[in-house]
């Protein structure tokens, strides 16, 4: 029989998967001699068994729990249910990966009508004892008996109103006793039985409730968002209570060893005198900055500083700690790696390398590539922000800039976003139920709660702009209004939030791009030293190319030439080419296009200089360049003099339906070689001229799309070679050039050895390759794939993260076959997957030379490529 319950003295930080993060760290803190109230952990395996055994806790596990309870009683010299010296415990969930605020907690368990009196006597504090008891009934009622919290609130607020109490602390012992009577009546009415008085029953029910909470909606959603397996289960921590609400020498708080928003190396957090933990996290009272604790409890503060330092050095990472002070004595209740903004993550990582605490590799590994996004996104334009009307000021809970229409419930915000709006979620305070709305919103504004309130913690984790604790505003959630002084805003009105300053503005504000240097540059340079993959970008205009260069791109992996065709002054010539009836007519039209294409390519080469630039020949079906509506077709007819009927007929003949696998890709060049001729000429002439002008070495890379066989590429290649060589001769140039192909048709992967006889490089077009391997039309399947992912039929959207088991196999096969024929063949990827961290890891393992992605994903790709290399070495 296994072991399902561990005392804190038996575990360590390395037992996370069994004890959960919280349990493992409580054990670790106990092990290294820090003051932790004693307790024990019921393992995640017990949770798995609970689900396997029909939601029952096995007799053997119950036996183990009682054994550990007896040990806890011995250590604390208290007894469960004892009238003289009762043991009270907290029961908290703790899964392998931290899920802040997602799971349930019960405090003061062990209180009943008798032990509450002994607690009052022992502490000589009636009020404290009855306050603890009413909190316990409320939490137990909510978490275990599933009675809505609001029903308890009605009783509580009713009593406050009845006696004219402004704050919770104004309630007297008698008031609290009356509330308890009300709470117990509510429990009886709601569940048809009395509130359980036997502590052991309370404990078992609470443990089961924690197991159940693993599968509540918000926990499931959180896991889904964070890609945490549903199978892990949660551990349960049972810990003897310490009380932060025992009067003015007690208190409770949450603190970080460094600033989780900026990364500054100073203790950062909040505390409340005479309060229990949930008061801080739930934002019921607005807490004080941790520095003020130095004044309230100077000795304890020193001790806390010392422990924070020990913990950070021990874990070699920024910690997020919970503590309680009971009558002047400090107790640690939790420590874990702190969630942090991207700015903070980067600063902390760089500082810790400077401090000699971690290696560069660890620093790079700690950066979440997806989070980098936060740094690349715009902030408010300073000028526009200066002139904007300030409505209110709250706490700068999570940095960034957000503009949108206000909505007052999570579901309204979600619905608005679904219909294409940008939403700001405005709440009195948020709770875990609001998660889906927070995900959908651009930003979050709350009236109550501090820097460690639910809204603040969750928003920072998501990298979402948040202003919290904005006490100047009055939020009427049911009336859907936001009042600030005499001003009233309604649902749908625009506001803007600056999450770095806590300012709330009226209306919309323009945004600007951020600068990337300092610590960010340092981390990036370490990533560049470590990674093996090169990072290119997909860009088809000089502006995007320059942006990508600024982000560290080392070349262009895909220039889609059709994007250049759409420009207004070119479209008439394109259409003339499409509608041409003879080769001669087509050549006349193409001749008009040549100077445009050439200057496009010159622009690209001027920016990229000697860096590699892969230019792809025309790919999309021609109908995309013809007018789509009757009105536009008539206009074109009037403009060109071509009869409307002829135009309409051409459009309908050329029209293709998704997935558009007809007359496109290299098939265009096979049937109309003069298109490939014109494009090759434009590329070569541009390269030769810029090379001479700038004195740089350019080696054009000409890429043929949608190839499925050797003969097909050979046909187009002949046109390209003939034209390129003619250009060289005309210019008297020796310029080298490379011809390669996209691998995006499954047949190309299967026959890659043959294709490599013609192609000097392969670029995996995993968008089309995914479309054709799955048989999913890439433009029609968004909704369907979401359902497949929700149902678990697909682990991920294969258009976002490469399907390693299917599409990935084709890529691997093509890599092997390609190298067989041509050992030095250059291999890259230019589908969307080139910017996806998990796909990048796959590309590294598969041995590609480079990934190519959109400019804004270049820094993400640099980090992800370095992390893939580190992982490889670790293996």
Cβ proximity to ligand PEP: between 207 and 558 the closer is 558
Tokens of 26: 């409580």
- The piece of 151-159, 347-355, 630-638, 762-770 that touches Mg ion (CB under 5 A) is 762-770
* DSSP type of residue 836: -
Alpha-carbon distance of 332 to 36, in angstroms, equals 5
- The piece of 517-525, 716-724, 743-751, 813-821 that touches Mg ion (CB under 5 A) is 743-751
Reply yes or no: is the peptide bond before residue 659 cis, omega within 30 of 0: yes
Cβ proximity to ligand PEP: between 39 and 765 the closer is 765
In sequence order, what DSSP letters do the residues of 729-746 get, joined into one string?
HHHT-----EEEEEE-SH
* DSSP type of residue 557: E
Does 744 interact with Mg ion (rule: CB under 5 A)? yes
Q: For residues 614-653, which are near ligand PEP according to CB under 6 A?
A: 619
Burial class of 731 by CB neighbour count within 10 A (0 to 12, 13 to 18, 19+): middle
Cβ proximity to ligand PEP: between 213 and 839 the closer is 839
* DSSP type of residue 479: T
Catalytic residue, from 47, 454, 666, 727: name it. 454
Q: For residues 284-313, which are near Mg ion according to CB under 5 A?
A: none
Selected from 758, 768, 803, 836, the binder of Mg ion by CB under 5 A is: 768
Q: Crossing angle of helices 571-579/630-640, nearest 10°?
A: 90
Give the count of beta carbons closer than 10 Å to the beta carbon of residue 772.
23
Q: Crossing angle of helices 766-774/807-821, nearest 10°?
A: 120
Cβ proximity to Mg ion: between 20 and 765 the closer is 765
Largest distance between two CA atoms of the chain:
105
Q: Which does 830 bind (CB under 5 to 8 A by kind): Mg ion, ligand PEP, none?
A: ligand PEP
* DSSP type of residue 144: T
Selected from 104, 322, 361, 768, the binder of ligand PEP by CB under 6 A is: 768
Does 540 interact with Mg ion (rule: CB under 5 A)? no
Cβ proximity to ligand PEP: between 713 and 830 the closer is 830
CA neighbor of 541 nearest in space, from 482, 600, 500: 600
* DSSP type of residue 582: S
Cβ proximity to ligand PEP: between 257 and 773 the closer is 773
Cβ proximity to ligand PEP: between 96 and 811 the closer is 811
CB of residue 662 to ligand PEP, shortest distance in Å: 14
Alpha-carbon distance of 794 to 785, in angstroms, equals 8
Nearest 5 degrees, angle CA 405-CA 411-CA 416? Answer: 35
Alpha-carbon distance of 613 to 536, in angstroms, equals 9
- The piece of 313-321, 462-470, 764-772, 859-867 that touches ligand PEP (CB under 6 A) is 764-772
Cβ proximity to ligand PEP: between 64 and 562 the closer is 562
Does 765 interact with Mg ion (rule: CB under 5 A)? yes
Q: For residues 805-834, which are near ligand PEP according to CB under 6 A?
A: 830-831
Q: For residues 302-331, which are near ligand PEP according to CB under 6 A?
A: none
CB of residue 534 to ligand PEP, shortest distance in Å: 17
Give the count of beta carbons closer than 10 Å to the beta carbon of residue 538.
26
Does 836 interact with ligand PEP (rule: CB under 6 A)? no
Burial class of 582 by CB neighbour count within 10 A (0 to 12, 13 to 18, 19+): exposed
- Return the HEC string of 590-630: HHHHHHHHHHHHHHHHHHHCCCCEEEECCCCCHHHHCCCCH
Q: Which does 766 bind (CB under 5 to 8 A by kind): ligand PEP, Mg ion, none?
A: ligand PEP
- The piece of 380-388, 633-641, 768-776, 796-804 that touches Mg ion (CB under 5 A) is 768-776
* DSSP type of residue 588: H
Cβ proximity to ligand PEP: between 391 and 860 the closer is 860
Burial 313-326 (b: 16+ CB within 10 A, else e): eebebbbbbbbbbb
CB of residue 830 to Mg ion, shortest distance in Å: 8
Does 557 interact with ligand PEP (rule: CB under 6 A)? no
Catalytic, 830? Answer: yes
CB of residue 745 to Mg ion, shortest distance in Å: 9
Does 255 interact with ligand PEP (rule: CB under 6 A)? no
Alpha helices of 43-172 — where are they, by DSSP H?
Answer: 44-52, 59-76, 115-123, 126-143, 149-163
Catalytic residue, from 727, 830, 843, 853: name it. 830
Burial class of 167 by CB neighbour count within 10 A (0 to 12, 13 to 18, 19+): exposed
Q: For residues 780-839, which are near Mg ion according to CB under 5 A?
A: none
CB of residue 535 to ligand PEP, shortest distance in Å: 16
Give the count of beta carbons closer than 10 Å to the beta carbon of residue 550.
14
Q: With the CA atoms of 122, 175, 209 and 17 taken in that order, what torsion angle do they form, in degrees rounded to the nearest 10?
A: -60
What residues form DSSP beta bridges with 50? none
Cβ proximity to ligand PEP: between 434 and 768 the closer is 768
> What DSSP element (H or E) covers 308?
helix 298-315
CB of residue 821 to ligand PEP, shortest distance in Å: 22
Q: Is 161 helix (H, G, I), strand (E, B) or coil?
A: helix
Alpha-carbon distance of 511 to 378, in angstroms, equals 6
Alpha-carbon distance of 381 to 391, in angstroms, equals 18
Selected from 17, 767, 801, 821, the binder of ligand PEP by CB under 6 A is: 767
Does 766 interact with ligand PEP (rule: CB under 6 A)? yes
Does 560 interact with ligand PEP (rule: CB under 6 A)? yes
- The piece of 102-110, 291-299, 715-723, 759-767 that touches ligand PEP (CB under 6 A) is 759-767
CB of 366 closer than 8 Å to CB of 284 = no
CB of residue 771 to Mg ion, shortest distance in Å: 8
Alpha-carbon distance of 732 to 142, in angstroms, equals 84
Tell me the C-alpha to C-alpha distance, in Å, between residue 461 and each of 235, 433, 464, 524, 784.
Answer: 23, 16, 8, 22, 29
Does 216 interact with ligand PEP (rule: CB under 6 A)? no
Alpha-carbon distance of 131 to 193, in angstroms, equals 23
CB of residue 9 to ligand PEP, shortest distance in Å: 56
Cβ proximity to ligand PEP: between 125 and 561 the closer is 561
CB of residue 835 to ligand PEP, shortest distance in Å: 12
CB of residue 865 to Mg ion, shortest distance in Å: 23
CB of residue 574 to ligand PEP, shortest distance in Å: 17
Cβ proximity to Mg ion: between 259 and 768 the closer is 768
Q: For residues 455-494, which are near ligand PEP according to CB under 6 A?
A: none
CB of residue 744 to Mg ion, shortest distance in Å: 5
Binding residues for ligand PEP, how many (CB under 6 A)? 10
Q: Which residue is nearest to Mg ion (CB)?
A: 768
- The piece of 117-125, 256-264, 761-769, 792-800 that touches ligand PEP (CB under 6 A) is 761-769
Give the count of beta carbons closer than 10 Å to the beta carbon of residue 384.
15
- The piece of 272-280, 347-355, 527-535, 763-771 that touches ligand PEP (CB under 6 A) is 763-771
CB of residue 566 to Mg ion, shortest distance in Å: 17
Q: For residues 108-167, which are near ligand PEP according to CB under 6 A?
A: none
Tokens of 71: 């040990």
Catalytic residues: 454, 830
Where along the sequence are the contacts to Mg ion (CB under 5 A)? 744, 765, 768
Where along the sequence are the contacts to ligand PEP (CB under 6 A)? 558, 560, 619, 744, 765-768, 830-831
């Amino acid at each position: 029989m296994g072991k399902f319950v561990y005392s804190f003295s038996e575990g360590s930080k390395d037992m996370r998967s069994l004890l959960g993060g919280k349990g493992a760290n409580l054990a670790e803190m106990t092990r290294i001699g820090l003051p932790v109230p004693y307790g024990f952990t019921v393992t995640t395996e017990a949770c798995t068994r609970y689900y396997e055994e029909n939601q029952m806790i096995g007799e053997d596990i119950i036996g183990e729990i009682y054994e550990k309870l007896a040990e806890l009683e011995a250590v604390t010299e208290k007894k469960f249910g004892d009238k003289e010296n009762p043991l009270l415990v907290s029961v908290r969930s703790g899964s392998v990966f931290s899920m802040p605020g997602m799971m349930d907690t019960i405090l003061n368990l062990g209180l009943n009508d008798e032990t509450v009196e002994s607690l009052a006597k022992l502490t000589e504090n009636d009020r404290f004892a009855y306050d603890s008891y009413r909190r316990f009934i409320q939490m137990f009622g909510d978490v275990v008996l599933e009675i809505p919290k609001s029903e308890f609130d009605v009783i509580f607020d009713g009593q406050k109103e009845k006696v004219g109490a402004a704050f919770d602390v104004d309630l007297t012992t008698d008031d609290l006793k009356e509330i308890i009577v009300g709470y117990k009546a509510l429990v009886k009415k709601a569940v048809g039985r009395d509130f359980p008085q036997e502590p052991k029953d309370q404990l078992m029910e609470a443990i089961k409730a924690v197991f159940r909470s693993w599968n509540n909606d918000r926990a499931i959603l959180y896991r889904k968002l964070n890609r945490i397996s549903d199978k892990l289960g949660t551990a349960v921590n049972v810990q003897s209570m310490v009380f932060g609400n025992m009067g003015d020498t007690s208190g409770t708080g949450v603190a970080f060893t460094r600033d989780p928003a900026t990364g500054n190396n100073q203790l950062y957090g909040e505390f409340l005198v005479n309060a229990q933990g949930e008061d801080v996290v739930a934002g019921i009272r607005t807490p004080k900055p941790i520095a003020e604790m130095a004044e309230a409890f100077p000795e304890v503060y020193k001790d806390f500083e010392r422990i924070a330092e020990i913990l950070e050095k021990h874990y070699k990472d920024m910690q997020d700690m919970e503590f309680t002070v009971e009558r002047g004595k400090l107790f640690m209740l939790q420590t874990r790696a702190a969630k942090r903004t991207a700015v903070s993550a980067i600063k902390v990582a760089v500082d810790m390398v400077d401090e000699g605490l971690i290696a560069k590799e660890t620093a790079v590994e700690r950066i979440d590539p997806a989070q980098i996004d936060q740094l690349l996104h715009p902030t408010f334009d300073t000028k526009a922000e200066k002139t904007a009307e300030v409505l209110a000021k709250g706490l700068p809970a999570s940095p960034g800039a957000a503009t949108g229409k206000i909505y007052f419930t999570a579901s309204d915000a979600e619905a608005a976003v679904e219909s294409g709006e940008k939403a700001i979620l405005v709440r009195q305070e948020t709770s875990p139920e609001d998660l889906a709305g927070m995900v959908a919103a651009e930003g979050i504004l709350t009236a109550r709660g501090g820097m460690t309130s639910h809204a603040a913690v969750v928003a920072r984790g998501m990298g979402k702009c948040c202003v919290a604790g904005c006490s100047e505003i009055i939020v009427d959630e049911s009336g859907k209004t936001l009042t600030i002084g005499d001003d009233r805003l309604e649902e749908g009105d625009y506001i803007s939030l600056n999450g770095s300053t806590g300012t709330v503005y009226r209306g919309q504000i323009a945004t600007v791009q951020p600068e990337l240097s300092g610590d960010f540059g340092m981390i990036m340079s370490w990533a560049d030293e470590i990674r093996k993959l090169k990072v290119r970008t997909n860009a088809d205009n000089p502006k995007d190319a320059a942006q990508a260069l600024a982000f560290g791109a080392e070349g262009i992996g895909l220039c889609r030439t059709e994007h250049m065709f759409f420009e207004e002054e070119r479209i008439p010539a394109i259409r003339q080419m499409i509608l041409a009836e003879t080769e001669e007519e087509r050549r006349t039209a193409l001749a008009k296009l040549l100077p445009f294409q050439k200057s496009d390519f010159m622009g690209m080469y001027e920016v990229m200089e000697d860096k590699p630039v892969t230019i792809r020949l025309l790919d999309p079906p021609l109908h995309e360049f013809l007018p789509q509506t009757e009105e536009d077709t008539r206009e074109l007819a009037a403009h060109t003099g071509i009869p409307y009927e002829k135009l309409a007929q051409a459009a309908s003949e050329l029209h293709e339906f998704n997935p558009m696998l007809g007359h496109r890709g290299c098939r265009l060049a096979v049937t109309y070689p003069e298109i490939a001729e014109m494009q090759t000429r434009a590329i070569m002439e541009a390269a030769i001229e810029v090379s001479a002008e700038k004195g740089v070495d350019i080696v054009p890379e000409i890429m043929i799309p949608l190839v499925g066989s050797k003969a097909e590429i050979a046909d187009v290649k002949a046109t390209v070679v003939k034209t390129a060589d003619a250009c060289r001769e005309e210019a008297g140039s020796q310029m080298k050039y490379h011809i390669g192909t996209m691998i995006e048709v499954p047949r190309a992967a299967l026959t890659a050895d043959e294709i490599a006889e013609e192609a000097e490089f392969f670029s995996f077009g995993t968008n089309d390759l995914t479309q054709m391997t799955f048989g999913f039309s890439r433009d029609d399947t968004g909704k369907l794939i979401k359902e497949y992912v929700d149902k678990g039929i697909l682990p991920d959207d294969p258009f976002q993260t490469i399907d390693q088991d299917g599409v990935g196999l084709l890529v691997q096969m093509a890599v092997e076959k390609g190298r067989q024929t041509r050992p030095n063949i250059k291999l890259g990827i230019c589908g969307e997957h080139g910017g996806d961290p998990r796909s990048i890891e796959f590309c590294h393992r598969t041995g590609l030379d480079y990934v190519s992605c959109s400019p804004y994903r270049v820094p993400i790709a640099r980090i992800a490529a370095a992390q893939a290399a580190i992982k490889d070495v670790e293996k």
